[in-house]
Amino acid sequence: MRWLTLYLRSRRAPMALAVAAGCAGLMWSLWAIFSKDRQVAPQMVVLTVLLLVSILTLTLSSPDYALDRTAALSWPPRRAAHLLAALLIVVGSLVLTRYTAAHFGPASVLLRDAAGLLGLTALGASLLTPARSWFLPLGWTLIAVLFPRTETVADQLLTWQSQAPDNRPAVLLALLLALAGLVTYALAGPSRRATADLPA
């Protein structure tokens, strides 16, 4: 238990969770106040998921980079559990709105988008740095939301975040991104360049 407490504190998890909860509450409040429709618009659902994922990305590294690389602990299962916990937090917090004045959903879209975007950010955390890992998901998602296309399979893949829940290419690409991010981050951890993002 003490190890878990230290782990969460070293990754600023309490702060990230508080900010994520505040942002989710803000998005929920905006829709509940200004819209007569109980179902939140798909574009706002995608952007809310992206926002929560970006905030939780802050927890993918700690100030003690050397300690994270030590062989004294088996890091891959811990890193995998970290990502799965982040997925549950994002999806679970938005599914809880099902019986409220503003409903984020459907759950299959929340799961697809959260898994794909978390995988993409985890991949970025390993190949770039955690501080820069949200650049690609942000740019990709904004383009997908602003310019949704469904004409061809290539269009559906490029805009997978904005596709219908039963769109198979979008689901497959999200699963591929999720699996690639999970395996890469669990095995490699954050990029060695992560230390350059830390204050001196």
Q: Residue 1 has what DSSP assignment?
A: -
Q: Which helix (H) or strand (E) holds 153?
A: helix 153-158
Summarised one tens digit per residue, pLDDT across range 11-37 is: 889 999 999 999 999 999 999 999 999
Residue 199 covered by a domain: no
DSSP 71-135: TTS-HHHHHHHHHHHHHHHHHHHHHGGGGSSSB---HHHHHHHHHHHHHHHHHHHHHS-GGGTTH
pLDDT at 4: 85
* Mean pLDDT within 83-100: 95
Closest CA to 140 of 148, 150, 152, 128: 148
Summarised one tens digit per residue, pLDDT across range 170-192 is: 999 999 999 999 999 999 888 87
Residue 95 covered by a domain: yes
Residue 26 covered by a domain: yes
Residue 195 covered by a domain: no
Residue 200 covered by a domain: no
Residue 193 covered by a domain: no
State the residue range of the domain holding 89: 1-188
Predicted confidence band of residue 199 (pLDDT cuts 50, 70, 90): very low
* Mean pLDDT within 46-61: 92
State the total domains in the chain: 1
Predicted confidence band of residue 159 (pLDDT cuts 50, 70, 90): very high
